[in-house]
Amino acid sequence: MELRHLRYFAEVADTRHFGRAAERLHMAQPALSQSIRQLEAELGTPLFVRTTRHVRLTTAGEFLQVEVARILAAVEDSVRGVRRIAEGRQGLVRIAFTGSAAHTQLPRMARIVKRELPGMALEIHADLLTPAQVDGLHDGRLDVGVLRPPMTGEGLELRVIESEPLVLAVAADHELATQPVITMADLRSEPFVLFAGTHSAVNDAVQRSCRAAGFVPHREHEAAGVSVLLPLVAADLGVALVPASVRAAPLVGVVFRDVADAATVELAIAWRTGETNPAVLAVVDALVPTPVEGISR
């Protein structure tokens, strides 16, 4: 049974007239009549009662009319779906965010995708440090990463979207919480809460800031992400230098303060080099539509 035969049947069933159906189908009436006879022969039953004056559906024809309408609608939906996927307007994209970026970039980016690509579904992975995101992009568990460069390894495209300063996170009852001006030198004797792992871009920026001020930070505690780091700070188990975007996720007992001479950290979007998934490319283009010269890597 061919799809075109079902379309022919639907037109005749709708018009109850072979001549008008042939005109709507832009074909000759004898060819249409022959196609309907072939369909009836294949099904083993008449679909129409034909007289010189009228054409009406048999009981089997009435049943088939309902089923064909459903089948043709499903085919049209499938065609539209395939085209949306091919054009990058529908699909599933797995996107990860570092802990701090999740608080500011996740809501903004999700709204952009919802507005620009309403047929797109996002699978969100939050509070993932850059090394974990890079691993996920390389092994195919992730499609897009919102992370902090630099990255290790090859095979990934990177586009910087912002640069933000490090700020001090300190317990609310710590003496630095009310100090008028804070510099890196003021942190010389403080125990630090740093991110766990050996390839943290924020840790690298903290180390640079401390070295520039003439000291090496004392690593008192480690945290896998912001959700653990801030409670450790609130407990006064150490101070932390974190990206300014962490201010968007306040925690009772933690105060954020500017540090005059602290370093800055970049935030970037990363995806696989040579990516062919239209959905991934469409999401990247929606989030960073125009590469800015000098920051695309």
| Residue ranges of domains in the chain, CATH in brackets | 3-86 (1.10.10.10), 90-161+266-287 (3.40.190.10), 163-265 (3.40.190.10)
- Please tell me which residue, 90 or 182, carries the higher pLDDT value: 182
What integer pLDDT is reported at residue 296 of this predicted model? 37
For residues 269-287, average pLDDT: 92
Amino acid at residue number 57: L
Alpha helices, H only, the chain: 3-15, 18-25, 29-43, 59-86, 99-116, 130-139, 201-212, 226-234, 278-287
State yes or no: pLDDT of 142 exceeds 90.
yes
What integer pLDDT is reported at residue 240 of this predicted model? 97
State yes or no: pLDDT of 166 exceeds 70.
yes
User: Using CA atoms, how far apart are residues 38 and 46, in angstroms rounded to an integer?
Assistant: 10
What integer pLDDT is reported at residue 292 of this predicted model? 36
What integer pLDDT is reported at residue 262 of this predicted model? 95
Lowest mean pLDDT among 150-159, 165-174, 258-267: 150-159
Is the separation of the CB atoms in 183 and 260 below 8 Å?
Answer: yes
What integer pLDDT is reported at residue 289 of this predicted model? 64
User: Using CA atoms, how far apart are residues 116 and 88, in angstroms rounded to an integer?
Assistant: 11
For residues 290-296, average pLDDT: 40
Q: What is the pLDDT of residues 190-220, one digit of tens each?
A: 999 999 877 788 999 999 999 999 999 999 9
What integer pLDDT is reported at residue 290 of this predicted model? 55
What integer pLDDT is reported at residue 119 of this predicted model? 84
- Give the percent of the chain with pLDDT over 90: 65
Q: Average per-residue pLDDT in the chain?
A: 89
Is the separation of the CB atoms in 296 and 266 below 8 Å?
Answer: no
State yes or no: pLDDT of 279 exceeds 60.
yes
- Please tell me which residue, 105 or 79, carries the higher pLDDT value: 105
Lowest mean pLDDT among 83-87, 163-167, 269-273: 83-87
What integer pLDDT is reported at residue 110 of this predicted model? 93
For residues 26-42, average pLDDT: 91
What integer pLDDT is reported at residue 294 of this predicted model? 36
What integer pLDDT is reported at residue 87 of this predicted model? 62
What integer pLDDT is reported at residue 172 of this predicted model? 96
Is the separation of the CB atoms in 223 and 127 below 8 Å?
Answer: no
Burial class (CB in 10 A: 0-12, 13-18, 19+), 103: buried
What integer pLDDT is reported at residue 84 of this predicted model? 67
* 0.85 surpassed by pTM: no
State yes or no: pLDDT of 291 exceeds 80.
no
Q: What is the pLDDT of residues 237-255, one digit of tens each?
A: 999 999 999 998 889 999 9
State yes or no: pLDDT of 154 exceeds 90.
no
- Please tell me which residue, 132 or 199, carries the higher pLDDT value: 132
Q: What is the pLDDT of residues 82-95, one digit of tens each?
A: 776 676 666 889 99
